[in-house]
Amino acid sequence: MFKFIREKIGNKLMLTFIGIILIVMVIEMTFRIYFGVQDRLRIAEMGNKEVMDTIYATMKHPLTVGDSDTIHRDLEEIGQKYKNISVYLCDFNRDISFSTDKKVINKKIDQIISSKEFIDSLNESFKGNGDEYKSLVFNIQKRRNLISVIPIKNAPECFHCHGSSRKILGALVMKTDVEDVYKTVIDQRNRSLALTVFASLLAIFVTHIFVTKFIRKPLNTLVEATHRFAKGEMPVIEKYPPDEIGTLIKTFNYMVNEVAKSKMELEKELTRRARLLEERDELVALLQKANKQLKELDTLKSAFIANMSHELRTPMNAIIGYTDLLLDEVDGPLNEDQKASLKKVAANARHLLQLINDVLDISKIESGKIELRPKEVDLKGLIDSIMVTFEPLIAKKGLSFELNIDNGAEKLYVDEDKAKQILINLISNAVKFTHQGGITVKARISERGLDKQGNPQFVEISVADTGIGIKREDLDKIFDKFAQADVSTTRQYEGTGLGLSIVRGLVALHKGMVWAESEVGKGSTFYVLLPLKKEVFDNPGPVVEEKMAETLSQYFEVPKEVFLEEPSYEGKSVRCWDYTQCGHVNCPEYGSSEKRCWLVLGTHCKGMRIASWPEKVEACRICEVVRDLVLHREPLIIESKPSEKEKVVLAIDDNPDAIDLIRKYLEKDYKVIGLLSSEEAVKKAKEIKPVAITLDIMMPKKDGWQVLKELKEDKETRDIPVIIVSIIDNKTLAFSLGAADYFVKPLDGHSLLKKIKSIEIYKPVKKVFVLERDEKTSKDLTGILKETGYEVTVARDSSEAINIVKLHKPDLFIVNITDPESSAFNFLDFIKGSPELKEIPIIALTNKELTDEEKEALDGRIKEVINKALFSEEELISELKNSLKKIGG
Amino acid sequence: MKTILVVDDNEDSRELVKKILKKQGYEIIEAVDGEDALAKAIAYRPDLILMDISIPKIDGYEVTKRLKSRIDFKDTPIIAFTAHAMRGDQEKALEAGCDGYISKPINVREFPEQIKIYLKEK
């Protein structure tokens, strides 16, 4: 019921109308009934009084003379005349003496009007109290009667019958039946009720029509339109009333139009994106295809190499075999020269064979064709079997050999052949590169790569020598294919350059690691971690390195769990065991492919290398996932101190790859320092004072606009030209905020380089070189410049000038180009041709307006042109100062 | 006087083996392909067979399998002798029934020793 009302405006209105009608009608009826009755009674009363007075007056005389007949007749007449009136005349004993109703004569009036109240009031009247005339309504036999009483007073003319002691002799009582009066009012009430009902119905009807026409219909239209709108249509309501609902509909239409507009824009944008996506998909498909082809090629390559190796080994078999047979003098004695030559043949053949074997191994490792067959292996036995081969050479070189195996590290769980190969390679290197001292092989339980219960799972084997050592910057190259630390060593120390890459691959297959430490001239130590327990191979993924995680967590200041939680990679869950991308962005060597950095045991950029998965194994990219995890949480800053000499460009972008790209484009001419966190921009810019800044716009936390504003607001940084490099295109805003230029990604690197070269901030000018033939001018200039705090050197013609600048490189040239004697253009050409000098800014002094030809000749080389002819001396000075200011003096 | 059957499609390789083993006093029979090898093995009943794996017509694994399936060759040592040094080749050879594996290039000084061991083991 209430719901029905609550939910419909029409019903609310109706209810209100009906309510109002009812209230009005009730009030009206109350008034009408109450006052209606009152009024009628008053009229009846007045009528009664008139009648009574008349009766009293007419009866006064007959009563006085005792003419009862006249009284009877008069009363009879009255009785006939007024049907609803009965008149009684009673004495003070309340006995009725006369009446319009003859039957009641001699009865007590109490019997006729049996109302105690009436009797009391009658008695009061007899006592002479109260009013002369009284009238009251009483119920008599369930009908309401108006009863009027006039006491009949004693008068002198009556004394003879009644004496004079009584005041009142009786009373004239008139009973008027007023039930009809009430009935009339009730009838009126009923009529009013009917009217009310009718009015209510009318109200309902009218309201309904009104509400339907003016409220419900437009609202329903709106509701329906809204529903359609919600379903994605764009309905506009054409017709609407000029009232508030109309306003609502107009607003709705406005909204629909706006949404439709933005929807259209959105759709455009979506189509654009869809197109981009399609293009991307096409590219991805192409890439995948290329990738597949590469993989196929790779497989082919591996197969080819395997095959080739076989084909190569067959002739090697013959070469080595027959050479050895000859050397054994099977076919007769040889002279010494022949022997020496044959030995060379044999040695080279063996070297070639080793090369073939190594290439084969590498290709097998890379193509993932190696399957380990791990079992328990006795380490001492393994090393002893290896040392058998090396002992003669060690003895020959006079080296010592020491083997220490800690308790618990005696047994490995490895593929015996592979482990042997690993150790052979390491020991043979140690022997090869050591000329005095010795080799120490140690094995101990490693605290790295512990299992979940904290039990060790790996043995750390170190091969230390006292050999020639490896340069710090070479340390991370030695594990690469065909890389011997120093090209010159290759001739001195024969080797294939594949040994350590094989070691790396094999160690990685064992889920271990390999790294090296070295000091040139003192020796090197190579470390490998090899499994101690079968459990290492239980899980197909890499081993979780708790210690590594701890290190990384300290390093990146993120919770350790980041590295321990299982990131997923290409739908497979992976665990990061080694972190080959350490310092990818914030290492001073970042960006130099030769000096990639690695993080081992918290040692940052030590050039140690972790055994990574062979490149062709998908899992080797695991660490990228972790890197992203880290970098995206905690943007890093590339910490590096630019050296005095280099010009620095600060590249601000939250994407390290974007920075990398900019670096690649600019690295020939600038040192690029990348900054991944926009919040540090101003601080960093002050610190490193770059000649220019490249700035990305869409960055988390603080966008590029904000950074640009801050850079331009700060006194120290506002002069650094800022070049926006962004995916969004809003040049207007950028230039209004003070950007020097705007490049939309994808970046055209060559244009960027050109731009930066043309706008970079020049370093402060200290040394000024002046080429001016006119002595007065050069004197003046020197004076001004020295006063302002510059060092000044002066030349009078170009040959003199060239000799001077060869020795003293100034920060600024001031050249008078219009004096033919000084042949300034020769000098300018010389500057242009010198890589050292061509970047130095030039202020040209002229004595006249330049011709177009001259201007063209100067194009791009001159920062400022000052026409001496146009200025007075003072003006010239201030003009020169201005120019210097512009250039950065 | 022990007889050794050398199966190899490469003549130089055969000659080398022959030269080394002749010096040790073995009698050498040569076969150049799988069919030849089967025929000569059955005809000459050698005390040991040196079997190159990649040979024409029938490959060395197959020849070995066929010979090893015969009761009269159960105890004849067949040594795989190949330039394939791929992991799995050795297993394949053993699976096929070879009794040993010598990879090319051979070590002239150790080779006779290896042969001796295989013959002794018999």
Which span out of A288-302, A665-679, A721-735, B12-26 was modeled with the highest average pLDDT? B12-26
> Is the Cβ pair B16, A364 closer than 8 Å?
no
CATH number where A727 lies: 3.40.50.2300
Can you read off the two tokens belonging to residue A186? 């009730």
The residue among A318, A77, A278, A78 whose CA lies nearest residue A176 is A78
Q: Is the pLDDT of residue A693 over 80?
A: yes
Task: State the pLDDT confidence band at A197, using cuts at 50, 70 and 90.
Answer: confident
Are residues A54 and A108 located together in one domain of the fold?
yes
Task: State the pLDDT confidence band at A175, using cuts at 50, 70 and 90.
Answer: confident
**What pLDDT shows up at residue A610?**
33
| Cα→Cα distances A836→A765, A808, A810, A840, Å | 16, 11, 10, 8
**Degrees, nearest 5: CA angle A605-A607-A612:** 105
Mean pLDDT, chain A, integer:
75
Task: State the pLDDT confidence band at B46, using cuts at 50, 70 and 90.
Answer: very high
| CATH code for residues B3-119 | 3.40.50.2300
Which amino acid belongs to residue A207?
Answer: T
Chain A residues with CB under 8 Å of B83 CB are 309-311, 313-314, 317
Q: Is the pLDDT of residue A509 over 70?
A: yes
Chain B residues with CB under 8 Å of A304 CB are none
The residue among A267, A71, A50 whose CA lies nearest residue A170 is A71
Are residues A883 and A785 located together in one domain of the fold?
yes
Q: Is the pLDDT of residue A307 over 80?
A: no
Are residues A107 and A158 located together in one domain of the fold?
yes
> Is the Cβ pair A321, B85 closer than 8 Å?
no
Q: Is the pLDDT of residue A471 over 50?
A: yes
**What pLDDT shows up at residue A444?**
92
Q: Is the pLDDT of residue A654 over 70?
A: yes
The reply to whether A841 falls in a domain is yes
List, edge to edge, every strand of the sheet that includes A767-771. A791-795, A767-771, A812-816, A842-846, A864-867
Chain center to CA of A428: 56
The DSSP element (H or E) to which A440 belongs, if any, is strand A438-445
Q: Return the number of other C-beta atoms located less than 10 Å from residue A216's C-beta.
A: 16
> Is the Cβ pair B86, A315 closer than 8 Å?
no
| Nearest CB to A310; choose among B83, B87, B88 | B83
User: What's the whole-number mean pLDDT along residues B74-86?
Assistant: 80
Q: Is the pLDDT of residue A105 over 80?
A: yes
Q: Is the pLDDT of residue A600 over 80?
A: no
> Is the Cβ pair A328, B108 closer than 8 Å?
yes
> Is the Cβ pair B13, A314 closer than 8 Å?
yes
CA dihedral A132, A134, A140, A143 (to 10 degrees): 140
Q: Is the pLDDT of residue A624 over 70?
A: no
**What pLDDT shows up at residue A463?**
93
Which amino acid belongs to residue A780?
Answer: D
> Is the Cβ pair B12, A306 closer than 8 Å?
no
At a CB cut-off of 8 Å and minimum separation 6, what does A78 contact? A51, A55, A85, A87, A100
Residue of B87, B94, B106 to mutate, interface with A, max A Cβ within 10 Å: B87
The least confident of A165-174, A269-278, B46-55 is: A165-174
**What pLDDT shows up at residue A313?**
79
Taking CA–CA distances from B84, the nearest residue in chain A reads A310
Percent of chain A clearing pLDDT 70 (strictly above): 78
**Degrees, nearest 5: CA angle B59-B60-B63:** 90
**A332 touching B, CB under 8 A?**
no
Total domain count, chain A: 6
Are residues A418 and A480 located together in one domain of the fold?
yes
CATH number where A83 lies: 3.30.450.20
**What pLDDT shows up at residue B75?**
86
Task: State the pLDDT confidence band at A626, using cuts at 50, 70 and 90.
Answer: very low
Predicted TM-score of the model (pTM): 0.40
The reply to whether A489 falls in a domain is yes
Can you read off the two tokens belonging to residue A659? 């920075």
Last residue of a domain, one of A138, A156, A175: A175
Chain A residues with CB under 8 Å of B85 CB are 309, 313, 357, 360
Taking CA–CA distances from B24, the nearest residue in chain A reads A330
> Is the Cβ pair B104, A369 closer than 8 Å?
no
Are residues A525 and A380 located together in one domain of the fold?
yes
Percent of chain A clearing pLDDT 90 (strictly above): 3
Are residues A97 and A164 located together in one domain of the fold?
yes
Q: Return the number of other C-beta atoms located less than 10 Å from residue A651's C-beta.
A: 27
> Is the Cβ pair B20, A353 closer than 8 Å?
no
Last residue of a domain, one of A225, A248, A283: A225
Chain A residues with CB under 8 Å of B109 CB are 324, 328
Taking CA–CA distances from B13, the nearest residue in chain A reads A318
CATH number where A532 lies: 3.30.565.10
The reply to whether A342 falls in a domain is no
Chain A residues with CB under 8 Å of B22 CB are none
Q: Where are the domains of chain B?
A: 3-119
Tell me the per-residue pLDDT of A879-888, one tens digit each, with 9 for 90 and over.
776 666 655 5
Distance CA A276, CA A298 (A): 31
Task: State the pLDDT confidence band at A541, using cuts at 50, 70 and 90.
Answer: low
User: What is the SS3 assignment for A889?
Assistant: coil
Determine contact, residues A507/A528, Cβ cutoff 8 Å: yes
| Nearest CB to A321; choose among B85, B88, B106 | B106
> Is the Cβ pair A325, B85 closer than 8 Å?
no
Residue A412 or A120, more confident: A412
User: What's the whole-number mean pLDDT along residues A295-304?
Assistant: 75
| Nearest CB to A317; choose among B19, B83, B86 | B83
Task: State the pLDDT confidence band at B6, using cuts at 50, 70 and 90.
Answer: very high
Q: Which residue has the tokens 């040094």?
A: B85
Domain residues for the domain of A148 are: 49-175
The least confident of A123-137, A225-239, A405-419, A534-548 is: A534-548
**What pLDDT shows up at residue A131?**
62
Which span out of A162-176, A319-333, A647-661 was modeled with the highest average pLDDT? A319-333
Distance CA A422, CA A612 (A): 15
The reply to whether A706 falls in a domain is yes
**A825 touching B, CB under 8 A?**
no
The residue among B122, B115, B121 whose CA lies nearest residue B4 is B115
Parallel, antiparallel or unpaired: strands A767-771 and A791-795? parallel
User: What's the whole-number mean pLDDT along residues A146-153?
Assistant: 83
Last residue of a domain, one of A479, A510, A538: A538
**What pLDDT shows up at residue A591?**
43
User: What's the whole-number mean pLDDT along residues A177-199?
Assistant: 81
Q: Is A185 exposed, middle or buried (0-12, 13-18, 19+ CB in 10 A)?
A: buried
User: What's the whole-number mean pLDDT along residues A141-151?
Assistant: 81
The reply to whether A617 falls in a domain is yes
> Is the Cβ pair A320, B108 closer than 8 Å?
yes
Q: Is the pLDDT of residue A461 over 90?
A: yes
Chain B residues with CB under 8 Å of A309 CB are 83, 85
Are residues A722 and A615 located together in one domain of the fold?
no
> Is the Cβ pair A325, B20 closer than 8 Å?
yes
**What pLDDT shows up at residue B4?**
92
User: What's the whole-number mean pLDDT along residues A397-407?
Assistant: 90
Are residues A550 and A570 located together in one domain of the fold?
yes
Task: State the pLDDT confidence band at A870, using cuts at 50, 70 and 90.
Answer: low
Q: Is the pLDDT of residue B58 over 90?
A: no
Are residues A712 and A782 located together in one domain of the fold?
no
Task: State the pLDDT confidence band at A623, using cuts at 50, 70 and 90.
Answer: very low
Parallel, antiparallel or unpaired: strands A741-744 and A767-771? unpaired
Q: Is the pLDDT of residue A860 over 60?
A: no
Determine contact, residues A863/A873, Cβ cutoff 8 Å: no
Distance CA A96, CA A268 (A): 112
Q: Is the pLDDT of residue A26 over 80?
A: yes
For residue A487, report the phi and psi dihedrals to the nearest 5 degrees. Answer: -60, -35
Distance CA A117, CA A38 (A): 20
Which span out of A403-412, A471-480, A765-774 was modeled with the highest average pLDDT? A403-412
Q: How many CB pairs under 8 A join A and B?
A: 64
Tell me the per-residue pLDDT of A709-751, one tens digit each, with 9 for 90 and over.
888 888 888 778 888 888 877 788 888 888 888 888 777 878 8
User: What's the whole-number mean pLDDT along residues B49-54?
Assistant: 88
| Cα→Cα distances A242→A213, A225, A245, Å | 13, 18, 8
